[in-house]
């Protein structure tokens, strides 16, 4: 029997989805319909409230996110939040009526990554969050802090967990560490919030002075415009009073040489994105002789999500939201992200 909030749940209605259909390409990303899904044994159904964009959502419709992507049609986006409105046989938690985020990696519960744990991500290998309903294993969703709005909660699974995994789980961030955060996108602003929570000295870089002022308001201790200061690695050391313990690297090829200047001997560079190129063009000798730890990061586990959510709840943190769009305006939201003028997260509202 499927348990729901005081009503029978029947999978006969149609729900709205945004999916790539027919062939890969942004032109084939369309508002469409599918049958409402029903939860089977061990599964829960979420009535989705909001979804959030990540940079990868610009690449996915063009089949730009790896060889394992699901056959079409593919419902897009990996981040979101919903209300549990039905549970299948055998599910004791979460309960109907509670709010939960679908987890980015559906099979990475805890521990270290491996091929299997990295093989099932939403909005790529599996259908994503741009659907009015989602059915997932009970272990594939996690509770969210009550103080967050739906828009804020929707941003946690990808950008939030990535920053948490980089700085806390892998980075073992310590009090009074020196951290450099590249840019003011979703991952980077979460990293700023988490680093400040740990008591770190944080340097933020950006292409925009106006965004840098906003980063200061969120707690950045020092800021550098990477356009007007191309040698920002040395500048970051000067501003921080020494080499950086940790660099949040989202640029890749174009930024790694400066990150290697900024990082201290024995420090860590978390390689999270390749916005400025995806091949290695850096002095690898510096990695060797200065004992630098180059750590690849790809989101994180359910355990990472729970630890992050606890910290957010206790500290009352709120992720910065740049703009919200109605569900049907996904293309306008993607265009806004692609234009790069955002500061923080771009969100879609499934219901008003
Ligand atoms: N590996 C993972 O687990 C994981 C998870 C999420 C995201 N990512 C990757 O991380 C990157 C950022 O993702 P996101 O969703 O946070 O993107 P986003 O919200 O679209 O933010 C991108 C920001 O990066 C900054 N940027 C662009 N080029 C830069 C450069 N050369 N130097 C410094 N900053 C630069 C810009 O900041 P300003 O506008 O301030 O200049 C821009 O706003 C992407 O490559 C994405 O694929 C990886």
Q: Which atom from ligand 1 is nearest to the alpha carbon of 299?
A: 3
**Per-position DSSP letters for 212-233, written without gaps between them:** HHHHHHTT-SEEEETTT-TTHH
pLDDT at 352: 62
Q: Which of 18-32, 59-73, 128-142 has the weakest average pLDDT?
A: 59-73
What is the average per-residue pLDDT within 296-302?
98
DSSP bridge partners of 294: 269
Does the CB atom of residue 186 touch ligand 1 within 6 A? Answer: yes
Question: Is 7 a residue whose pLDDT tops 60?
Answer: no
The rounded distance, in Å, linking the Cα atoms of 343 and 213 is 11
The CA-atom distances, in angstroms, between 224 and each of 140, 203, 260, 261 are 39, 8, 16, 15
Q: Please report, rounded to a whole number, the percentage of residues in the chain having pLDDT higher than 70.
A: 96
The rounded distance, in Å, linking the Cα atoms of 262 and 179 is 10
What pTM value is reported for the model? 0.96
The rounded distance, in Å, linking the Cα atoms of 174 and 126 is 36
The rounded distance, in Å, linking the Cα atoms of 291 and 286 is 8
Q: How many CB atoms lie within 10 A of CB 110?
A: 11
**Nearest Cα residue to atom 42 of ligand 1:** 185
SS3 333: helix
**Average pLDDT, rounded, for the chain:** 95
Ligand 1 center–CA 36 separation, angstroms: 34
Residue 265 near residue 291, CB atoms below 8 Å = yes
Residue 140 near residue 149, CB atoms below 8 Å = no
Ligand 1 center–CA 316 separation, angstroms: 25
The rounded distance, in Å, linking the Cα atoms of 22 and 44 is 29
Q: Which atom from ligand 1 is nearest to the alpha carbon of 274?
A: 45
3-4 and 79-87 beta bridge pairing: antiparallel
The rounded distance, in Å, linking the Cα atoms of 18 and 80 is 14
3-state percent helix, strand, coil for the chain, nearest multiple of 5: 30, 30, 40
At residue 6 the predicted structure's pLDDT band, cuts being 50, 70 and 90, is: very low
Ligand 1 center–CA 269 separation, angstroms: 15
The answer to whether the bond into 144 is cis (omega within 30° of 0) is no
Ligand 1 center–CA 215 separation, angstroms: 15
The rounded distance, in Å, linking the Cα atoms of 117 and 200 is 31
Q: Which domains does the chain have, with CATH numbers?
A: 3-155+319-349 (3.90.180.10), 162-296 (3.40.50.720)
Ligand 1 center–CA 207 separation, angstroms: 12
Q: What is the pLDDT of residues 319-333, one digit of tens each?
A: 999 999 999 999 999
At residue 10 the predicted structure's pLDDT band, cuts being 50, 70 and 90, is: low
Q: Please report, rounded to a whole number, the percentage of residues in the chain having pLDDT higher than 90.
A: 91
Does the CB atom of residue 161 touch ligand 1 within 6 A? Answer: no
First vs last C-alpha separation in the chain: 31
At residue 9 the predicted structure's pLDDT band, cuts being 50, 70 and 90, is: low
The rounded distance, in Å, linking the Cα atoms of 305 and 249 is 21
The rounded distance, in Å, linking the Cα atoms of 101 and 119 is 19
Question: Is 38 a residue whose pLDDT tops 70?
Answer: yes
Does the CB atom of residue 181 touch ligand 1 within 6 A? Answer: no
SS3 346: strand
Ligand 1 center–CA 298 separation, angstroms: 13
Higher confidence at residue 281 or residue 187?
187
pLDDT at 186: 95
What is the average per-residue pLDDT within 100-119?
97
Q: What is the pLDDT of residues 204-230, one digit of tens each?
A: 999 999 999 999 999 999 999 999 999
Residue 350 near residue 193, CB atoms below 8 Å = no
pLDDT at 13: 83
- The residues, any chain, with a CB within 8 Å of residue 309's CB and separated by 6 or more, are 142, 143, 144, 145, 156
Residue 100 near residue 94, CB atoms below 8 Å = yes
Q: What is the pLDDT of residues 55-92, one digit of tens each?
A: 999 999 998 777 788 999 999 999 999 999 999 999 99
């Amino acid at each position: 029997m499927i348990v729901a909030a005081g009503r029978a749940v029947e999978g006969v209605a149609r729900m709205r989805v945004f999916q790539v259909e027919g062939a890969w390409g942004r032109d084939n990303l369309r508002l469409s319909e599918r049958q409402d899904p029903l939860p089977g044994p061990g599964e829960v159904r979420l009535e989705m409230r909001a979804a959030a964009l990540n940079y990868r959502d610009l690449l996915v419709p063009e089949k730009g996110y790896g060889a394992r992507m699901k056959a079409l049609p593919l419902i897009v986006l990996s981040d979101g939040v919903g209300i549990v409105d039905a549970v299948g046989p055998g599910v004791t938690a979460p309960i109907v009526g509670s709010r939960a985020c679908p987890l980015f990696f559906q099979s990475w519960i805890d521990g270290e990554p491996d091929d299997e744990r990295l093989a099932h991500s939403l909005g790529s290998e599996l259908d994503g969050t741009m659907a009015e309903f989602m059915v997932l294993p009970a272990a594939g969703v996690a509770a969210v802090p009550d103080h967050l709005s739906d828009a804020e909660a929707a941003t946690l699974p990808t950008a939030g967990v990535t920053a948490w995994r980089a700085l806390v789980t892998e980075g073992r961030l310590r009090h009074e560490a020196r951290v450099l955060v590249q840019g003011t996108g979703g991952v980077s602003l979460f990293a700023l919030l988490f680093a400040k929570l740990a008591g770190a000295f944080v340097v933020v870089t950006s292409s925009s002075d106006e965004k840098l002022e906003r980063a200061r308001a969120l707690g950045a201790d020092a800021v550098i415009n990477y356009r007007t200061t191309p040698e920002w690695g040395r500048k970051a050391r000067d501003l921080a009073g020494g080499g950086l313990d940790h660099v949040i690297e989202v640029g890749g090829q174009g930024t790694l040489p400066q990150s290697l200047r900024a990082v201290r001997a024995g420090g860590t560079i978390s390689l999270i994105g390749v916005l400025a190129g995806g091949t290695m063009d850096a002095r690898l000798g510096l990695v060797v002789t200065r004992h630098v730890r180059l750590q690849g990061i790809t989101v994180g586990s359910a355990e990472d999500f729970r630890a992050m959510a606890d910290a957010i709840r206790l500290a009352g943190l709120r992720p910065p939201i740049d703009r919200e769009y109605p569900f049907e305006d996904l293309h306008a939201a993607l265009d806004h992200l692609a234009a790069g003028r955002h500061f923080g997260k771009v969100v879609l509202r499934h219901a008003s």
